[in-house]
Structure 1
Amino acid sequence: MSKSHLNLGKASEDLATQFLKNNGYKIITRNYKSPLGEIDIIAKDKGAICFIEVKSRSSNRFGLPQEAVSGFKQRQISRVALGFLKEKGLLNSKARFDVVSITYPLEDSPDINLIKDAFELNLDYTY
């Protein structure tokens, strides 16, 4: 991954975190890592634990950012989220998967979209 791509990712996660806070989310942690993968942001919103994937693009030329949350990525996030809930003793908690999609149009403010309940728990191990 190029340095500029990594910088865009970090800046996007920072922007998404502030956006979520401004919309009433309470951030629990960022960049939660386990042997199974990583979740960009874990937050609480109205009693639900939210596992949030941040996707960004410099344009929509290759599709919308949220389209990059593939079935494989959903399964990976689902497994990591389940591990987090087990680790914290929160298996009976309400949880959901959200996506923050950010596009950076040339010479314009970023376009930020929050997609609540973007996908359901997916533990299908077939590829």
Structure 2
Amino acid sequence: MAGGGMPWARAREVGDEGEELVCAHLEQQGWRVVDRNWRCAEGEIDIVACEGEMFVFCEVKTRRSVRFGEPVEAVGQDKARRLRTLAWAWLDAHGHRGAAFRIDLVGVLRRRDDAPLLTHLRAVA
């Protein structure tokens, strides 16, 4: 495919750009990013951050348009349940079993000529 590579490669690039923007946004808010793209048998966590003593597991959805809906609309109940399972797995794997946590969803809309728009929803699952 001329000029852009494989569509999945471009989608991964867009996703990576969104995660970079979200990490910068969280750090500007005074949060500490402690892990990124952590994987286990159940799936992947995009970003693990700490807001004070609270662990926050962030699912990032990045889109270039709203043609198929807002980015935050891409997470349904099944995904929300899986995110909770992943959060417990991360806490267990890192010696933080029983720690306080929440799951946030951050949508990133990256239109061509506009500044990125971030929508941060707290405690979604």
TM-score (norm 2): 0.89
Q: 1:63 aligns with which of 62, 66, 69?
A: 69
Moved more, 11-20 or 71-80: 71-80
Point out where structure 1 has 5 or more consecutive residues left out of the alignment. 120-127
Aligned-partner Cα distance in 2 for 1:89–1:65: 32
**One-letter amino acid of the structure 1 residue matched with residue 93 of structure 2:** E
- Residue in 2 aligned with 1:113? 119
Point out where structure 2 has 5 or more consecutive residues left out of the alignment. 1-6
Alpha-carbon deviations, 1:48-95, whole Å to 9, x = none? Answer: 000100001111121110111122211221111111112223222110
Please say if residues 80 and 124 of structure 2, whose CA atoms lie closer than 8 Å, have aligned partners that are also in contact.
Answer: no
- Residue in 1 aligned with 2:3? none
**One-letter amino acid of the structure 2 residue matched with residue 95 of structure 1:** F
Aligned-partner Cα distance in 2 for 1:60–1:47: 35
TM-score (norm 1): 0.87
Aligned-pair identity (%): 30
Please say if residues 91 and 97 of structure 2, whose CA atoms lie closer than 8 Å, have aligned partners that are also in contact.
Answer: yes
Please say if residues 72 and 119 of structure 2, whose CA atoms lie closer than 8 Å, have aligned partners that are also in contact.
Answer: no
CA RMSD of the aligned region, Å?
Answer: 1.2
Number of corresponding residues:
119
- Residue in 1 aligned with 2:12? 6
